[in-house]
Structure 1
Amino acid sequence: MNNILTKLPFVSNVRFRDAGTLVGLLLIALVFSILSPSFLTMPNIGNILQQSSINACIALGMTLVIISGGIDLSVGPVAALSATLGAAMMVAGVPVPIAMLGAIAVGVSCGFVNGALIAWGGLQPFIVTLGGLSLYRALALIYTGGTPIFGIPSEFRSIANGAVMGVPTPVIIVAILALIAWVVLTKTPLGEYLMAVGGNPEAARVAGVPVSLTKISAYMISGALASIASLILIGRLGAAEPTLGNLWELDAIAASAIGGASLMGGRGSIVGTLLGCVILGALRNGLTLLNVQAFYQLLATGIIIIVAMLIDRATSGK
């Protein structure tokens, strides 16, 4: 079956796009280093990477979902629900490792519900995850009564606020997750299945790919990574808010698109997604250093996303 999959037209080489994305990042760094001498200092670079880590965590899962031909608009609310339930367990005295696993299990469960409705229910990913966006946010608000949960244990907070040899812990966590995601996508049958299902689900089914289970797996991974991102954030903030994760899905989709993932499915890159996250982080950081107002930052982000989509269309030949 592997021979069949590698001959399908949607299995493509994304190194060219990764190189283009890297060039874009270097150009942004060059421009901001000229405009602001503090941009390329080590403390600021560390700040960019740390600020990008949460989006990167979400975007890794989003990339796998997009490659499979889907979309996940519910990652923000899934993160909020996971964070509030995980924080509540910690505050109630549940051991930190168990509470963390419980929070991740919430994300995996939400991902399974999304994936099952799409794969087995035959519903459109946009509609299912749009409904999940409201559903999971409502559950988080109902559970907390709309109020934040304080009292996160210091031993848990020390993980998110720590560093190893000067590298912030969140950056290390995301780097490990990215390596795992890269191995899954490029070295395992699941990665081949994701590419196949996103490129041509009918051809993949004929080739013997378990299409439904592949789609469900992608959404479960996305939910798990959303939960991990939420744990990183509440560890840094010391509180879990039911409104956490607002618009996270848009940043994740933007990073994936900038990194070369095709919103039509069948193509994407873990390296490209990470570069896309750093591009967004560097752009916002640089504009902040230049005292540019926030709505102009949104304008710049939107322009970059549109340009990335035009480049994707031109390079895909569609």
Structure 2
Amino acid sequence: MSANTAQAAPSRGRDFSIGRFLLEGRAFFALIAIIAVFSFLSPNYFTLSNFLIMSSQVAIYGILSIGMLLVILNGGIDLSVGSILALCGVVAGAMMQGVEISAAGVILYPPVWAVVVLTVTVGALVGALNGVLVAFFKVPPFVATLGVMYVARGVALLMTNGLTYNNLRGSAALGNTGFNWLGFNRLWGVPISVIVLATIAVLAGLMLSRSAFGRWLYASGGNERAAELSGVQVRRVKITVYTLSGALAAIAGLVLSSQLTSAGPTAGTTYELTAIAAVVIGGAALTGGRGTVRGTMLGAFVIGFLSAGLVIIGVSSYWQTVFTGAVIVFAVLMNSLQYGRGTRRG
């Protein structure tokens, strides 16, 4: 054994500590603590039926958060996901109401699968616009996505005149039934929305850990200049992550509209902040290059289960906002301790 190896082994042993273990696993321990506290306060909190209900609500946050994770890993931010969710919900609602295709007033009612495909395409295109602004025009991500946030929300308001599309169940006579399938149906007792979230999470996790694109994403987020010199196509990575974020926001919009059987231009307000919070609580670094899908999912469940628990025990909605904000601030502080400490050691 060389001298360097001999010195490395003890240093690895010294790196492990209870404090570091708790710090890096904070999202998991926070989730366990939330479940324990609210189960004690309300015996109905962690029943199987309520767990499935809470999970179906968390699915929307989780889908948004995975898209946000990809952007944050790249060193960016996406403030437009809540507005894209609303816009895509409105687009789906409009198509469910029928599309006029001629001056004679012929109205086409597209099948639900076409509504889903077109809606996700709209979300991906809006996300791609974010990516182009950031990658090619060098607009700071905060500014670019803030502008797109207002544009998407404004377009949704213009499309509906501020109104809401209701009763989006479809009609057998029109051949477009099944829109509420995502929100209400279950497979093997599990809500479809939870299955959708699990599928997206698995695919995103595999992409980040097993694909060349995942390596490029971590590299460009960690040190963009070094990644570019190493042959990583940084612009393509940027556009791809924003496009995926937009597409996932569209899917979240479809799930939400399906659960509510309605779509309105004000849906998803502040959801972008919830998505960012889930990513941060899950241990991702806002500076880019560090984070996992597993941690982000835990962060989404922490926020969702905390909000649901506060509702069940009858806490005022004002206090719910205070508690959620406190959790976010605490998570950012923990991130600062974790990555700041790592930087000092390096």
Q: TM-score over 0.5 for the alignment?
A: yes
> Residues of 2 paired with 1:215 and 1:139: CA distance?
25
SS in 1 for 2:179: helix
Q: Which has the larger radius of gyration?
A: 2
Q: Is the 8 A contact 2:125 2:246 kept in 1?
A: yes
- Residues 1:116 and 2:139 aligned together: no
Alignment of 1:65 with 2:88, yes or no, is no
Is residue 103 from structure 1 mapped to residue 119 from structure 2 by the alignment? yes
Mapping for residues 60-99 of structure 1, pairs under 5 Å: 60-92=66-98, 93-99=109-115
- Residue 205 (structure 1) aligned to one of 228, 239, 252: 228
Q: Compared with structure 1, are the counterparts of its residues 140 and 111 closer, same or farther at alpha carbon in structure 2 (3 Å cutoff)?
A: same
Give the CA deviation at 1:268: 0.9
For the pair 1:138 / 2:140, whether they are aligned, the reply is no
SS at 2:245's partner residue? helix
Counterpart in 1 of 2:301? 278
C-alpha distance in structure 2 between counterparts of 1:18 and 1:230, whole Å: 32
Task: Give yes or no for the alignment of 1:230 onto 2:227.
Answer: no
Please tell me the root mean square deviation across aligned C-alpha atoms, in Å: 1.5
> Which residue in the other structure is 2:330 paired with?
307
Matched to 1:277, the amino acid is: A
Distance 2:252 2:24 in 1: 24
Structure 1 letter corresponding to 2:80: S
SS of residue in 2 equivalent to 1:122: coil
Instruction: Tell me, in whole angstroms, the C-alpha distance in 2 between the residues paired with 1:168 and 1:244.
Output: 21
Deviations 1:6-56, CA, capped at 9 Å, x for gaps: xxxxxxxx9986633211111111111112221121112112111111011
Contact 2:23-2:334 at 8 Å conserved across structures: no
- Verify the 8 A CA contact 2:205 2:293 in the aligned structure 1: yes
Q: Is the 8 A contact 2:24 2:338 kept in 1?
A: no
Question: After superposition, what is the alpha-carbon deviation per residue over 1:147-206, rounded to whole angstroms, capped at 9, x for unaligned?
Answer: 112342141113321001111110111110111111111111111111111111000001
Q: Which runs of 5+ in 1 are unaligned?
A: 1-13
On the 8 A contact 2:183/2:260 being kept in 1, the answer is no
Matched residue, 1:296: 319
Residues in 1 aligned to 2:21 and 2:210: alpha-carbon distance in whole angstroms: 16
CA 1:159 to 1:308, structure 2 compared with 1: closer, same or farther past 3 Å?
closer
Q: Hey, what does 2:6 align to over in structure 1?
A: none
Indicate the larger mover: 215-224 or 278-287. 278-287
Count how many residue pairs are aligned between Structure 1 and Structure 2. Answer: 305
String of CA shifts for 1:33-84, please: whole Å, max 9, x gaps: 1122211211121121111110111001000100100000000111111111
2:61 is aligned with 1:45: no
Match of 2:208 in 1: 185
Partner of 2:106: none
Question: C-alpha deviations, 1:253-288, integer Å up to 9, x for none?
Answer: 000000011111111110111111111111111111
Q: Are 1:56 and 2:62 counterparts?
A: yes
For the structure 1 residues 41 and 304, does the alpha-carbon distance in structure 2 shift closer, same or farther, using more than 3 Å as the test? Answer: same
CA distance in 2, matches of 1:305, 1:77: 21
Return the TM-score normalized by structure 2. 0.85
1:253 aligns with 2:276: yes
Contact 1:91–1:151 (8 Å) recurs in 2: no
Identity score, percent: 38
- 1:213-233 CA distance string (max 9 Å, x none): 101100000000000000011
Deviation per residue, 1:281-315 (Å, 9 max, x gap): 11111111211111111111111111111111111
| Mapped partners of 2:308, 2:72: distance in 1 | 27
Query: Which residue of structure 1 aligns with residue 25 of structure 2?
Result: 19
Question: Partners in 1 of 2:152 and 2:83 — Cα distance?
Answer: 5
Q: Distance in 1 between matches of 2:246 and 2:26?
A: 29
